[in-house]
Amino acid sequence: MFWIFLVLALIAAIAMVLLPMFRQAKDRSSAPAPQRPGRNIDVYKAQLEELEADLQDGRLNVAEANAARLEIERRLLKSAAEQQQPTTGAQTSVAFLAVLTVVILLASGAFYLMTGSAGMPDFPLKDQKHSATAQASESPEAAQRDGEIVALLATLQKAPDDAGSWRKLGQLYSRAQDRVGAAHAFQKWHELAPDDPTAAVVYGESLIMLSNGRVSPAALLVLRQAAALQPRNPGVRHYLALADYQAGEVTQALASWKALEADSAEGAPWLGQLRAWMRRAEQDLGMVRAPQTAVAPALSAEDRDAIGNMSKSEQMDMIRSMVGRLQAKMEANPENVEGWFRLAKAYMVLGDKPQAIRALEQAAPHADAELQSEIKKQLEILRK
């Protein structure tokens, strides 16, 4: 059955290639033959002789004769060039292409008969040695982790208020590179242990991982809750400084990181990453222009001193004015998804959760699929 289908497909392919060629050749053969260039040349020569005779007899003046001579000579040269062109018929080209097409198709079929194997069964992806599915299934650690996840899910169905199980599940999902699953599990842990700063920090960190390293408004909300519980927590201090950095407050972020470094014991596990961020902030401060992610231009020393002398209400009024200007810019350019994120974060700093939610809702229609899932997750958190 396969070979019958193959032969029919070969015939159909040859027909689709050759039929248009023969149709064009037939059309060309049925078209009226063009006038021979040689005959035209004789006519033009006769016209030149008549032109000389008319000039001698006075029927044409010199200017008229020269103009007519130029036109006749132009046509004469054109006919001479056409006479020199090759007159190879189209039938030869069509025949050659037809033979070449048949040879190529037959050679392809012969090559498959020698090297192919139509009866070879399918090779499922899970049986391929180098596939991710096979490597995961061959890993004893992965199999053990998957078994633990299944067991924990079964346990949580019976005891959904077990905070320790949710914490363990989040850790397993993190090892499996399942960011969404990890964030969901750590969220449950944080909800069941709202007074545990570690739960808040880990949950906030999972939201940052879910946002590809961005301190999202939802993560900022969780981190501020953790800061209220344990303001000296290194993780809370680092991520709050990172939020400042991503908002364009590089100087403030660097000062916070330096303070954290001074308070950390030598050999603390977070010092390597902390110092890497400090170097990055120092490099940014050495640039001529402000970072592109800045919400507002960096303030001068005089401006900072002036702000420091303001009352709390005056400072808040100034911040609201800056946020208002950012809001106006975003309404003029609603496709700037990153700008909506910054605006939502600014509203969270002001404690205006409804406006932060509105900013994220405005970002959603312009975000790609990955960012839309992230926005949906943050909105779920902020709406609680």
pLDDT in tens, 83-125: 655 544 445 566 676 677 777 777 777 776 666 655 555 545 4
**pLDDT score of 300:** 53
- Mean pLDDT (the chain) is 76
Q: Which of 369, 351, 354, 265 is nearest to 312 (CA)?
A: 351
**pLDDT score of 287:** 38
64 vs 220 pLDDT, higher one? 220
Cα–Cα distance, 280 to 250 (Å, whole number): 10
**pLDDT score of 167:** 92
For residue 152, is pLDDT > 80?
A: yes
Q: Where are the alpha helices (DSSP H) in the chain?
A: 2-30, 37-57, 62-84, 90-115, 132-138, 140-158, 163-175, 179-192, 197-210, 217-229, 234-246, 250-263, 271-285, 301-308, 312-332, 337-350, 353-363, 369-382
Cα–Cα distance, 22 to 94 (Å, whole number): 7
Q: How confident is the model at residue 126 (pLDDT cuts 50, 70, 90)?
A: very low
Q: Average pLDDT in the 49-61 region? A: 77
For residue 373, is pLDDT > 50?
A: yes
Cα–Cα distance, 216 to 220 (Å, whole number): 6
The per-residue pLDDT for range 257-316, each reduced to its tens digit, is: 989 988 888 888 888 888 889 888 888 776 333 333 434 444 555 555 666 667 777 767
Read off the tokens for 327: 């809001």
**pLDDT score of 294:** 38
Contact 223, 215 (CB under 8 A): yes
- Percent share of the chain, pLDDT over 70: 73
Cα–Cα distance, 352 to 329 (Å, whole number): 19
The per-residue pLDDT for range 223-252, each reduced to its tens digit, is: 888 899 888 889 889 999 999 998 888 888
Sign of CA dihedral 74, 76, 78, 84: negative
Q: Which of 229, 239, 236, 230 is nearest to 209 (CA)?
A: 239
Read off the tokens for 359: 């900013």
Most confident of 90-94, 205-209, 345-349: 205-209
For residue 80, is pLDDT > 50?
A: yes
Q: Average pLDDT in the 120-143 region? A: 57
Cα–Cα distance, 190 to 229 (Å, whole number): 13
Most confident of 23-27, 35-39, 119-123: 23-27
**pLDDT score of 148:** 87
Q: How confident is the model at residue 177 (pLDDT cuts 50, 70, 90)?
A: confident
Q: Average pLDDT in the 213-227 region? A: 87
Q: Average pLDDT in the 67-96 region? A: 66
- How much is the pTM? 0.44
62 vs 212 pLDDT, higher one? 212
